[in-house]
Structure 1
Amino acid sequence: MALELIIFDCDGVLVNSEPLSNRLFVEALADIGLQISLEQCIELFVGRPAETNVATIEQMLGRPVPPNFLADLIARAEDHFAKDLEAIPGIEAALSKIDLPVCVASSSAPDLIRKSLTLTGLLDRFGDNIFSSTQVKRGKPAPDIFLFAAKNMRVKPENCVVVEDSVAGVQAGRAAGMNVLAYTGTFPREALKEAGAHTLFDDMSMLPQLIACVMPPVTESCP
Structure 2
Amino acid sequence: MNIKAVIFDCDGTLVDSEVLANQVLVEYAREYGLNMPVNEAIELYTGCKMADCIADLEYRLGRKLPDHFVTTLRERTLKAFESRLKPVEGALNLIKNMRLPYFVASSGPRVKIENSLRITGLLPYFSSSQIFSSYEIGHWKPDPRIYLEVAREIKVEPSLCSVVEDSLPGIKAGIGAGMKTFAFGNASRLTEELSQAIAIGHLSELESLFTQGDAKF
| TM-score higher than 0.5 | yes
The one-character-per-residue Cα deviations of 1:22-78 (angstroms, maximum 9, x if unpaired) are 111111222222222222211211101212222222233332221111111110111
What residue identity is the alignment partner of 1:97?
N
Displacement of 1:119 in angstroms is: 1.1
Distance 2:16 2:142 in 1: 21
In structure 2, the residue matched to 1:45 is 45
- 1:142 — aligned with what? 143
Q: What corresponds to 1:34 in structure 2?
A: 34
CA contact (8 A) 1:166 1:192 kept: no
Contact 2:19 2:38 in 1 (8 A): no
In the other structure, the counterpart of 1:127 is: 127
In the TM superposition, what is the alpha-carbon distance from 1:194 to its structure 2 partner?
4.8
Change in 2 beyond 3 A, CA 1:189/1:85: same
The equivalent of 1:182 in structure 2 is: 183
Any stretches of 5+ residues in structure 1 without a counterpart?
A: 219-223
SS at match of 1:104: strand
Q: Which residue of 1 aligns with 2:200?
A: 201
Higher relative contact order (CA 8 A, sep 6+): 2
- Distance in 1 (CA, whole Å) between partners of 2:215 and 2:66 is 49
**Partner of 2:103 in structure 1?**
103
Matched-pair contact (CA < 8 Å) for 2:4–2:215 = no
- Residue 9 of structure 2: aligned partner: 9
* Alpha-carbon distance change, 41 to 136 in structure 1, aligned in 2, over 3 angstroms: same
Instruction: Tell me whether 9-18 or 130-139 shows the greater mean CA deviation.
Output: 130-139
| Structure 2 residue 90 is matched with structure 1 residue 90 | yes
- Tell whether the 8 Å contact from 1:15 to 1:116 is kept in structure 2 after alignment: yes
Is the contact between residue 137 and residue 144 of structure 1 (CA under 8 Å) also seen in structure 2?
Answer: no
Is the partner of 1:135 in helix, strand or coil? helix
Alignment of 1:165 with 2:177, yes or no, is no
Whether the aligned pair in 1 keeps the contact of 2:190 and 2:197 (CA below 8 Å) is no
Cα distance per residue 1:199-221 (max 9 Å; x no partner): 11122211123557x943x5xxx
Secondary structure of 2:3's counterpart equals: coil
Q: Using the aligned pairs only, state the percent identity.
A: 36
- Secondary structure at the aligned position of 1:182 is classed as strand
Shift of 1:102: 0.5
